[in-house]
C-alpha cells in the first residue's frame, strides 16, 4: 500500500485526460479526492469526493477556491498540479495574447494556487506537491510558450523543495511525453498516418498512457518516495533518454 488511505488530495485539471486517471488512481488508494476543474461536468469514470470549480485564467477565482478548500478540508496532504493547456504549436503562432494566456494558465495560475495552499501545509509541517510538467520543458517539440511555462514550473518546484523541505514539504515533478488521451485518439482518427510518425520518436515505440502518468504521480505523492524531493521523473517512453531517429538515420542508415 502507498500510505494514502484517508489523505486529502487536491487535483487540478481533474475533468478528463490525465486528470481522470489521477482521480481514479488516488481514489483506488483510499484517498479523499478534491478535484478541481473549470467546469462542473467532468469525464472521470470515478467522481471526486468534492469538485471545486474555478478557472486558472481568473486570478480571483483561484484565491476563492483555495479558501473554500482550506475552509472545508484544511491543509491538503497532497497537492497535484495537473491542469495545463496549449494550442500555439509554432513560433509563428505566438502573439502577445497567446503569451499572456498560456503563461497564466500553465505557470502564473499554477503558482498562485499553490501559494494560496502552501502556507497551511507548511504550518502543519507535512505535505507533498507534485506538478505535471512535460518533456517540452527540457527539449523543444513545439509549443514554445507552453514549453517555457513548464520549464518555469520545474524551477518553481525545486524552489519549494529547497525552501520548504525543513517544514516537511516535498515537491516533485512528473514529466510526460505524448500521452494517449482521448484528445490524441480523436486526432489519430482524423490523421491515422500520424501515429507511426509519433511513435518512432520514442525508445519504447509507443506513447505512454494516462494511467502510467498517474502511477508515477501517486508514487511521488506517497510515502513510498519519502526521501525524494526536488526531482523530475520522466514518464516519456524514453523521449528524453536519447533521440531514436538519430540512431536509425545516422548509425543504422534507415531512411
Under 8 Å between Cβ of 17 and 85: no
* Separation between Cα atoms, residue 171 and residue 164, nearest integer Å: 9
Question: Which of the residues 7, 150, 156, 202 is marked catalytic?
Answer: 150
Hey, what's the cell of 126?
Answer: 507535512
φ/ψ of residue 245, rounded to 5: -60, -30
Question: Which of the residues 146, 156, 205, 252 is marked catalytic?
Answer: 146
Q: In the Cβ-directed half-sphere of 197, how many Cα atoms lie within 13 Å?
A: 5
DSSP 209: P
* Separation between Cα atoms, residue 140 and residue 113, nearest integer Å: 27
In angstroms, the Cα distances linking 142 to 103, 108, 120, 187 are: 15, 20, 37, 17
Is 146 part of the annotated catalytic residue set? yes
3-state secondary structure of 109: helix
Under 8 Å between Cβ of 202 and 243: no
Is 150 part of the annotated catalytic residue set? yes
Annotated catalytic residues are 146, 150
Amino acid at each position: 500500500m502507498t500510505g494514502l488511505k484517508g489523505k486529502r488530495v487536491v487535483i487540478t485539471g481533474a475533468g478528463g485526460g490525465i486528470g481522470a486517471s489521477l482521480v481514479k488512481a488516488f481514489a483506488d488508494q483510499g484517498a479523499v479526492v478534491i478535484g478541481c476543474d473549470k467546469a462542473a461536468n467532468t469525464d472521470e469514470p470515478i467522481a471526486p469526493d468534492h469538485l471545486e470549480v474555478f478557472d486558472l485564467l481568473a486570478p480571483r477565482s483561484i484565491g476563492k477556491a483555495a479558501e473554500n478548500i482550506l475552509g472545508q478540508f484544511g491543509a491538503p496532504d497532497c497537492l497535484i498540479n495537473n491542469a495545463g493547456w496549449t494550442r500555439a504549436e509554432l513560433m509563428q503562432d505566438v502573439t502577445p495574447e497567446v503569451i499572456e494566456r498560456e503563461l497564466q494558465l500553465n505557470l502564473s495560475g499554477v503558482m498562485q494556487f499553490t501559494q494560496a495552499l502552501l502556507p497551511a501545509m507548511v504550518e502543519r509541517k507535512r505535505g507533498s506537491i507534485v506538478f505535471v510538467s512535460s518533456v517540452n520543458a527540457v527539449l523543444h517539440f513545439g509549443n514554445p510558450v507552453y514549453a517555457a511555462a513548464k520549464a518555469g514550473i520545474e524551477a518553481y518546484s525545486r524552489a519549494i523543495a529547497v525552501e520548504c523541505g525543513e517544514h516537511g514539504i516535498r515537491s516533485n515533478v512528473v514529466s510526460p511525453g505524448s500521452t494517449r488521451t482521448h484528445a490524441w485518439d480523436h486526432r489519430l482518427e482524423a490523421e491515422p498516418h500520424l501515429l507511426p510518425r509519433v511513435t518512432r520518436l520514442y525508445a519504447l515505440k509507443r506513447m505512454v498512457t494516462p494511467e502510467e502518468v498517474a502511477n508515477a504521480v501517486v508514487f511521488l505523492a506517497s510515502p513510498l518516495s519519502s526521501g525524494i524531493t526536488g526531482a523530475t521523473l520522466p514518464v516519456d517512453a524514453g523521449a528524453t533518454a536519447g533521440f531514436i531517429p538519430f540512431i536509425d538515420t545516422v548509425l543504422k542508415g534507415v531512411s
